[in-house]
Amino acid sequence: MSFKDFEALSFDCYGTLIDWETGIWNALRPWLLRADLDVDRDTALAAFGEAESAAQKATPARFYPALLADTLPAMTRKLGQECTPEEAEAFGRSVPDWPAFPDSADALNRLRRRFKLVILSNVDVASFCESAKRLETPFDFVFTAQEIGSYKPTPRNFEYMAEKLAAHGIEKTKVLHVAQSLFHDHQEATRQGFATCWIDRRQGQGGGATKPVEDAPKTDRVFPSMAAFVEAVDAA
């Protein structure tokens, strides 16, 4: 696979460009302190991954802040305590506070010199707009779960992106999908024939906030960070 073959890079945002695991953990800590629970970060993130994927499957049309709020009661019960409605609502509003990875903004600004930049994200428009301020880079296309009406890994999300890009003269063969999540992104992207690049932020540390997959899809390229990815692109 040559990077020169592509016209556009499509990105998952949360986990790839935005450090959602730190954001989730920071948003969860007030409840942990109030509940006086000694729960490690990876256990909490695994509980989130299970609750979030179940909620996205059960209520695909629900906007992400409300869906995120729905995950907290399921998480907290799994961890052995209950949360209040106010705590769930605060958790649902936390996305704008989630930080960007330190290498995201620079990498995106370098990549936009060569490629159209696309977002395919499992959030709502308002939440992404706040996150976009942290990324400091304009995107050519933004496709969210809110407008599509479903959440990745539903096939429709990738089909929607392919249709919209094709309408602007960018065929699927000219799109490289760049993402961290094997569950949300790579298993379906590869199934639909997209070239893929795995930004393996966790580097063998398990699934984290992402639900594990039984059979890991084969991605075309793998990098540990956006910084490493953009260096490889520049070198090519």
Architecture label for domain 3-19+99-235: 3-Layer(aba) Sandwich (3.40)
CA distance 201 to 195: 19
- The string of pLDDT tens digits covering residues 172-200 is 999 999 999 999 999 999 999 999 999 99
pTM, two decimal places: 0.95
For the chain, the domains span: 3-19+99-235, 20-97
CA neighbours closer than 13 Å in the CB half-sphere of residue 126? 7
Q: Which of 10, 42, 8 is nearest to 152 (CA)?
A: 10
20-97 carries CATH number 1.10.287.70: no
Q: What is the Rg, in whole angstroms, of the alpha carbon atoms belonging to the chain?
A: 17
- The string of pLDDT tens digits covering residues 15-70 is 999 999 999 999 999 999 998 888 999 999 999 999 999 999 999 999 999 999 99
> Count of CB atoms within 10 A of residue 218's CB?
9
**Annotated catalytic residue within 5, 12, 215, 234:** 12
- On the 0-12 / 13-18 / 19+ scale of CB atoms within 10 A, 180 is buried
| 12 in active site | yes
The reported pLDDT for the residue numbered 59 is 95
